[in-house]
Amino acid sequence: MNSSKGNFINKKFILSFFIFLFFISIQQTSFSLQKNTLKEVYKDDFLIGVAIGSRDIFHYYKYPMRKDKSEMKIINREFNCVTAENLMKPQYICPHPGMYYFDAVDELMDFAEKNNHVVVGHVLVWHAMTADSFFEDDKGNLLSRDDMILRMKDYIYQVVKRYKGRIKYWDVVNEAVDLRTITDENGNRFEEAFLRESKWTKIIGEDFIELAFKFAHEADPNAELIYNDFTMNNKVKAKFVSDMCKRIRAKGIRIDGVGMQAHWHLNYPSVEELKQVMKIYRESDLKVHLTELDVGILERPNVQQDADISRKSKLNSSLNPYTNNVPPSVLIKHAKKYEDLFKVLLENRDIVDRVTFWGANDGISWLNEWPIEGRTSHPLLFDRLNQPKPAYDTLISLGLEFHRN
């Protein structure tokens, strides 16, 4: 390469670099001067929440004090509701029976109340992220049914009563229902929802769900109680869960609503699918919470669209195409998907209580580690530099337009 050509390339590179910096600075300035925020735009519709997560998930992690300051500014500026991504899960609060760690949760509560955030308790009863010893006696044997019920009750009482009157919503039971494909004698294939086998069902039985809701209500009669699960946009599962809630309610036990985890993708769910399940929940008189919303842009290694954390695959470069930047065309599709979803939520705002995004920015999204560890994922409204993406601007514009009309 001759020197004149090399100098030209260097100058071109330098010019492009400064143009890039210029546009970044304009974006940052416009965002800092913007008056509209998500929580303001949608204040008459539903809460706008965020999961406060961590890059390390040990139970003693005091993350509100260790999070990036610009990230915390976004959390306080844009959101009015917070969920602990991991810290309130059983294995972090109670890593061993009778051993409780509340320091980090106490700090989260102080942070939330100081900044006027509604708090969601996540989660009380789950087959995953609960210590094996929680189900065992001192000798390592599974507890009897009666002893397991007492341990569940004690745990729920300890946790819920500690924050009585301070936590508005509790995800009481998480991911107890699954889906499978059945082939009948004529070769016809169809989906079937069923209660997942777990240590809860093995020791207590299917009534562990109603017992959990009963104990949670006893511990805090004013808290609103949610059943939370993935693939709640599937009408078969939606019908199964709605019927389950009806049966439990018929026994005089409180259940206020369902949590749709909403780990979705550019290609699903369809608007029609979402409208169908909203109708099911409405007819069942259940409030709807989008509890863990993100919209992935990367392909998944299998056809299942659930969020089962036990399913993971190895890193493949073909499934990790956007390690640096996301093409504008993909960002536009990402924004359009969020817009389509929010239009359905606005149409059903009388039953939708909350929309919680599962993370403040792409850099801390759990999708960087699942279903493939080490991917560079881009599912949220803010990028790794805490700058708003087109999806954010689209949702602001949608909310403003909706309330003008």
Q: Which residues are catalytic?
A: 175, 292
Nearest to 126 by CA among 52, 201, 58: 201
CA-closest candidate to residue 346, choices 404, 261, 280: 404
Q: How far apart are CA 351 and CA 354, in angstroms?
A: 9
Alpha helices in 167-261 (DSSP H): 199-203, 208-219, 235-250
Q: Give Cα separations from 14 to 4, 77, 310, 327 (angstroms).
A: 15, 35, 47, 21
Q: How far apart are CA 387 and CA 345, in angstroms?
A: 25
Q: Which stretch of DSSP H or E encloses residue 29?
A: helix 3-33
Distance (Å, whole) CA 53 – CA 266: 24
Q: How many CA atoms does the CB half-sphere of 30 hold within 13 Å?
A: 10
What string of DSSP letters covers 70-133? HHHHHHHHH-SEEEESSTTSHHHH-SBTTB---HHHHHHHHHHHHTT-EEEEEEEEESSSS-GG
- What pairing do the DSSP bridges indicate for beta strands 263-265 and 287-296? parallel
Q: What distance separates the 2 farthest-apart alpha carbons in the chain?
A: 84
